[in-house]
A and B are shown apart, each in its own frame.
Chain A
Amino acid sequence: MNKGKNTVLLTVAILLGTMLGYFSIGYAMEHDVFFQKNYKINEKGQLICAKTNEIITEENFDPSKVYRVNEYGQTYGSSLFAVSFETEPDLILAKGVDGTIGYIYATDSYGEVPKNPGEALARQKANAGQDRRVIPLYASDGKTIIGEFIMYAIDIEEITLITAEETK
Chain B
Amino acid sequence: MKRIDFFLVYFIAAFIVSTSFMVTFASGTEGPKRYFTVYSIDYHNQSSLRPTWNNGLQARTLIMHEDNINLPAGYMGVYPRLYDDNGVVVSEPLDWVYNNSPAVGIEAPAPTYTEEGAYYSHGLTRAYNGDGYTQHSTYRSPSLNIN
Contact = CB atoms under 8 A, between A and B. Distances in A.
B79 A110 contact: yes
A95 B113 CA distance: 12
Interface string A104-143: 1000011101111110110110010011110000000000
A21 B15 contact: yes
A32 B94 contact: no
B22 to A, nearest CB: 4
B17 A164 contact: no
Kindly name the residue among A117, A153, A163 whose own CB sees the greatest number of chain B CB atoms within 10 A: A117
Contacts of B105: 161-162
A46 interface: yes
A95 B68 contact: no
B94 A132 contact: yes
A64 interface: no
A64 B78 CA distance: 28
A6 interface: yes
B15 A18 contact: yes
A82 B96 contact: no
B35 interface: no
B106 to A, nearest CB: 6
Contacts of B75: 117
A1 interface: no
A93 B89 CA distance: 6
B3 A10 contact: no
Interface residues of B, number: 82
B13 A17 contact: yes
A120 B77 contact: yes
A65 interface: no
A34 B145 contact: yes
Nearest to B46: A45
Contact of B68 (A77, A78, A132, A164): A164
Interface in B65-122: 68-70, 72-75, 77, 79, 81, 83-111, 118, 120, 122
A161 B107 CA distance: 7
Interface in B23-71: 23, 26, 31-32, 58, 62, 64, 68-70
A24 interface: yes
A110 B96 contact: yes
A6 B6 contact: yes
B10 A35 contact: no
Contact of B103 (A29, A151, A162): A162
Interface of A: 5-6, 9-10, 12-22, 24-26, 29, 32, 34-35, 37, 41, 43-47, 77-85, 88, 92-95, 101, 104, 109-111, 113-118, 120-121, 123-124, 127, 130-133, 151-154, 158-164, 167-168
